[in-house]
Structure 1
Amino acid sequence: MEQKSTINFGAGPAKLPQSVLLQAQKELLSYNSLGISVLEMSHRSSDFSKILNKTESLMRELLNSRPSSWTLNPSASYVYYCCNETVHGVEYNFIPETNGVVLVSDMSSNFLSRPVDVSKFGLIFAGAQKNVGCAGVTVVIVREDLLGHALKECPIVLDYKVQAESNSLYNTPPCFSIYIMCLVLEWIKNNGGSIAMENLNNQKSSLIYDIINNSDGFYVQKKEMKLWKKQFLDGAAKRGMISLKGHRSVGGIRASLYNAVTLEDTEALATYMKEFKKQHM
C-alpha cells in the first residue's frame, strides 16, 4: 500500500527531517552496529556518553553571533523574555541590552532557527520538540558563574550545578530524545548551520505572509475566517496538511514553519491558501 503523504505544521511535537527519521529507523534495532537499540542503552555506557559529547560539540559549533539592537535598563535581579511566543505569533528579532543584569530567555520555538549571540545571555533554555529534536529533552545553556545559585526549594535535578558536575547524567536521561537531537543537529550542520536555517525560514515565512498581506483582508478578518475555519482545515486535511488549527486559547489558524518544514511543504500551503481565497472571495 502506498504511504500517504502528510505535511505536519504542528507547533510541537513538530516535524522532524525525513533523513533523521530514516536514520533513526535504521538504527532503532542496533545502534552503531552494537546489537542493541539506543532505547536500551545505559546512560552510563561509553557509547551513550559519545552521543552526549557529540551533541554538546555540535551545539557549540552551530551557535553563532548576532549583534543586539535595543537598549533596556531594568532595575531587576534578572530580565526574562521569551523571544518567540507561538500562541499569539509574537517574535523579537533583537537581543535586549540589560547593562549587566542577567538575561534569561526561553528559546523553545526558535532555537537554532537563526544565529544567536550566546554571550549576551546568562541562561538559555529550549524544549527540543520544535526545531532540534523530539519531545522529552530540554537544552539548557547557562553561564558558569551562575552555577550554584539555585534556591533551596529547587529540586536537585533542576540544580544546574549538579547537572553540570554530573555531565547531565545525574539522573537517567531521555536517551532516545538526546540521540534524535544529535541527529537533528548533524542535519542542521550538514545543511549549512543556523545561518542557512535562517535564510530558509525567511523564504518560508515570506511565502505565507505575502499571501496574507496581499489578501485584501481575507486572512485577517476574524469574523469571516471564523466562519470558514472548518472548511479551511478540512480542505487542508484532504491535501495532507495537518495541525493547522490555532491554539485553543486564541483559536484561528496557525502554521508552524520550523526548520524541518521544507520549502516545498510551505509552497503546498501557499498554493492552497491562494485557491481557498479564490473560491471564497
Structure 2
Amino acid sequence: MTRAFNFNAGPAAIPLEVLQQAQEQFVDYHGAGMSIMEMSHRSALYEQVNNEAQSLLRELYGVPDNYRILFLQGGASTQFAMIPLNLVRPGRPGAYVKTGAWADKAIKEAKLVGETVIAASTESDKYMRMPTAEEIVIPDNAAYLHVTSNETIGGTQFFDFPQAGNVPLIADMSSDILSRPVDVSKFGLIYAGAQKNLGPSGVTVVIARDDLIAESPTTIPTMFRYSTHASNNSLYNTPPSFAVYMVSLVLNWIKGKGGIAQMDQFNRDKTKLIYDKIDQSSGFYIGCAQPQSRSLMNITFRIHSEELEKQFIKESEKEGFVGLKGHRDVGGLRASTYNAVPLESCQALAQFMADFQKRNG
C-alpha cells in the first residue's frame, strides 16, 4: 500500500496505526458482534468509549477538575454562535482578537447574537502576524476575550496567549489543539473541531470551566446550552459515536508517543525542515507569515510566479503530495503539518522543494 504525503488542511491526516486499529475493530467492536457505529449510545460499551476519551484528554492536557469535557456536533462554526448565546449579556459584550478568516467568522456570528468589541486586529498587516500583548485592549465589562490560537489560512499562531485578568479567555484551538503544552487553567473555555489534530470530522471538543457552564441561560434552545451537555455527559442526544471513538484512539496514540511535550518537539522538528527550505532558497520561496508568528501547523508560502506555483502543485501531485494548494481566498501554497503528519512526509516535501527550485530557479 502506498500512502499519500497528506498535507491537507482539514479533514487531515490520521495516524496510520489508528486507522489500522479502527479497521481491525470496524465490524466487531470488542466481541459485541457489531460495529461501534451500530450500537446504542446508551450501551455500557459506548459509555466506556465516551468516558475513556474524556479521561485521556484530561490526563494529556492536564485539565483541572473544575472543567468539563464535552463532545458536541456542528463543528467550531456552531461554537461561534454557542459562545455568545451562553455568555454575552446586555452590558457585557464579547471581546474578540481579529487575526484572520476564522476569527472574522467568529466575530460575524457573535454580532448576530449581541454586542461585540474588537480588542485587537492585525488586518492592516493582512493578518500575517499575531498581535502583541500591548496591542490587545480588553474592556473591563467584557463577558470574555476570544482568540483563534492558530489561523490555518494565513499560517499564523499565538505563542504567548493574552493575559485577560478577570475576563475569561476563550480560544478556538481547532487547528493546534494537543500540538503543544497549554495551561488549560488560563482559559475559561477551549474548543476545537476534531478534524485536524484529534481525529475525523463530526465531533467538536469543548473544555469549559464550571462557572461558565453555569451561566447557560434557559432562554436559548436546549441544544445550544453548555449546561445541557455537561449535565448529560455529552449524551443528551445521539452523539457522533464513531468520531468520538476515533478521538479516543488518537488520544491513546498521542499518549503512546510520549504525550504533548513529545508532540511539540516532533512538530517543531517537522516544520523546521520546510521553513529552512523557504528561508535558504534565496528568495525563490517566500514565507507569508511574519517570522515571529509562523505557525507550526500550517506553513504558508509563495513562489514569485503564479505560473510556477501552478506547476509546483501539478508536479507535486504526480509525486504523491496532497493538499499543498493554498486556501482559495489567498492562493499560494500551504503545507499543513498536524500531529499525524509523519516526519518522512516533511522530509520528502523538503527534498521536492529543493529539487523544484533547482529545476526552475
Is TM-score (shorter-chain normalized) higher than 0.5?
yes
Instruction: Tell me the residue number matched to 1:254.
Output: 334
Counterpart for residue 204 of structure 1: 270
Specify every segment of 5 or more residues in structure 2 that has no aligned partner in the other structure, as ranges. Answer: 64-131, 288-301
User: Are 1:138 and 2:138 counterparts?
Assistant: no
Aligned equivalent of 1:74: 138
- The amino acid of 2:354's aligned partner reads K
Contact 2:303 2:332 in 1 (8 A): no
Q: How many angstroms apart in 1 are the aligned matches of 2:149 and 2:37?
A: 33
Structure whose residues are more often strand by fraction: 2
Question: Of 200, 212, 233, which aligns to 2:313?
Answer: 233
SS of corresponding position for 1:254 = strand
1:148 touches 1:159 (CA, 8 Å); kept in 2?
Answer: no
Which runs of structure 2 are paired with 1:13-52 in the superposition (5 Å)? 13-52=11-50
Q: Per the alignment, do residues 112 and 276 of structure 1 end up closer, same or farther by CA in structure 2, a change over 3 Å counting?
A: same
User: Is the partner of 1:235 in helix, strand or coil?
Assistant: helix
Offset of 1:219 from its aligned partner? 1.0
4+ long deviations beyond 6 Å: none
CA offset digits 1:78-124 (Å, max 9, x no partner):
10000100111110101211111011100000000001000000110
Query: Where do 1:118-137 residues align within 5 Å?
Result: 118-137=184-203
Distance 1:87 1:155, change over 3 A: farther
> Corresponding residue for 2:352?
272
Identity of aligned residues (%): 47
Partner of 1:11: 9
User: Residue 63 of structure 1 aligns with which residue?
Assistant: 61
Q: Do the aligned partners of 1:52 and 1:178 also contact (CA within 8 Å) in 2?
A: yes
CA contact under 8 A between 1:128 and 1:134: conserved in structure 2? Answer: yes
Measured in 2, the distance between the counterparts of 1:24 and 1:171 equals 24
RMSD: 1.7
Using the alignment, how far apart are the partners of 1:189 and 1:11 within structure 2?
23
Give CA-to-partner distance per residue, 1:171-210, whole Å, 9 cap, x none: 1000000000000000000001110000000001111101
Matching of residue 102 in structure 1 with residue 100 in structure 2: no
Structure 1 position 5, deviation (Å): 3.0
Q: Which residue of 1 aligns with 2:251?
A: 185
SS at match of 1:40: coil
The answer to whether the aligner puts 1:220 opposite 2:300 as a matched pair is no
Structure 1, unpaired ranges of 5+: none
Give the counterpart letter for 1:58 in structure 2: L
| CA displacement at 1:150 relative to structure 2 | 2.9
Count of residue correspondences = 276
Please name the residue that 1:112 is paired with: 178
